[in-house]
Structure 1
């Protein structure tokens, strides 16, 4: 038997919004430590990794390891039926071919449940190597989303350059060019406005704007975003989900020859 209950349906809606544009379907691997999902995006360019810890749920029970393949579009439709204040409970029997979503209103006067067919998905688990990154930037998630959106108007690629002076995002194309520079800033009143740059060595990497913009769909989940970069390895864009876990996106840098 698997059962996981979240006090707030909004959180699950936001998590789904953060991944459903990149993935059509995904396998949720459930164990007593929580729920994990790992999948390449539809065009096999980026990787999405989601971890939800069991202790972040109001109630969590998983008697045996269970893999549930779900169509994320269908799951999003079901979650649209929940009010934001509703409690959501996800249930499945061992070896079941369906999963049930149950929504309860805060006064418990309304309870609705939706059953969805599960899918058998072939997916390979990709070992993500532990990497010491040359440069780690923590910055406000809203700011990162805005920079990605603005620079996408100039080019399909954005260059991220990290030095001890700060981090610079650049794009240039037919319209012209754009540069946004951010310096480290620790002296702010609010923690979520902090910009922290930890650098072992300078890094200059080029990424596809369209993927960065897709990753920023996770902005509603977190005030801060963390970018981890090293030469020749994928960028990691991480959003922490308060008290529940995190969502990480991996994106390989563009090689210069790709430009033509």
Structure 2
């Protein structure tokens, strides 16, 4: 007789799953993953309401997937992260919630089978709408190169200024400690695509961006979208299907 589950998902690479969880935990401590027949989704604001994360993974991205209706998985991501960090790239990871259970079972399957169980937590679920934004600049960059540009800014400033020009994205930082500027173009290979409807300049918190860029461990490229004085969108496509997308409010210039 087959075991019955409210929710069961098997992902091919436990190490990649850890990197995904790490990216979620960079912005929120707790949250509710909504599982349905289509796949899993998490959309949540950070505690300060400055940033939002929008994560989705379709059922086809999993090796196996079962979901009985809609299942809400209230999770402490720090605790989940500690467990999934124990997985390796040579192992599959299985997530399951049996009927009537208030616990998430995490099973690593490789040469050995290792099983963990953590409690689901009761979190008030709020269905957040997709932000209605239009962007004048859209650029797809190599994620590691964008991360290095942010690390350069970290030497001199707490904020990043992004400039979208007709032929480049410029990442700048400036303070009493000094100035830094990195130019990304398609010609050098730092950018894979660049679309500029109108040139734009906007500033954002470096602390938040450094948290968000942890998603580059799960994705090789990142798509930046912004307009002058408007929120920034960062989208990381996950290999095999799914996306991690962040929204960050701009810094109001003094």
Q: Is the pair's TM-score, using the shorter chain for normalization, greater than 0.5? A: yes
Does the C-alpha gap of structure 1 residues 96 and 233 become closer, same or farther in structure 2, counting only changes over 3 Å? farther
Paired residues of 2:201 and 2:229 also in contact (CA < 8 A): no
> What is the 5 A alignment of 1:32-71?
32-71=37-76
5 Å-filtered alignment, 1:33-112, equals 33-105=38-110, 107=111, 110-112=112-114
CA contact (8 A) 1:222 1:240 kept: yes
Number of the residue aligned with 1:246: 243
Structure 1 match to 2:3: none
Mapping of residues 217-256 of structure 1, within 5 Å: 217-256=214-253
Q: CA deviation at 1:123?
A: 3.6
Separation in structure 2 between the aligned mates of residue 19 and residue 226 of structure 1, nearest angstrom:
17
CA distance in 1, matches of 2:193, 2:218: 19
1:256 is paired with a residue of what secondary structure? coil
CA contact (8 A) 1:64 1:94 kept: no
Give the TM-score taking structure 1 as reference length: 0.91
Counterpart CA distance in 1 for 2:117 and 2:181 is: 49
Could you say what the CA RMSD is over the residues aligned between the two structures, in angstroms? Answer: 1.6
Partner of 2:196: 199
- Give the superposition deviation at 1:43: 2.6
Q: Deviations over 1:137-171 (max 9, x none)?
A: 11100000011111011111111011103111111
By how many angstroms is 1:130 displaced? 4.3
Query: How many equivalent residue pairs?
Result: 249
Taking the TM superposition and a 5 Å limit, the aligned residue runs for 1:57-206 are 57-105=62-110, 107=111, 110-185=112-187, 194-206=191-203
Aligned residues of 1:66 and 1:94 also touching (Cα < 8 A): no
**Rounded Cα–Cα distance in structure 1 between residues aligned with 2:177 and 2:228:** 29
**What is the TM-score normalised by the length of structure 2?**
0.93
C-alpha contact (below 8 Å) 2:31/2:42 kept by paired residues: yes
Secondary structure at the counterpart of residue 26 of structure 2: coil
3-state SS of 2:35 partner: strand
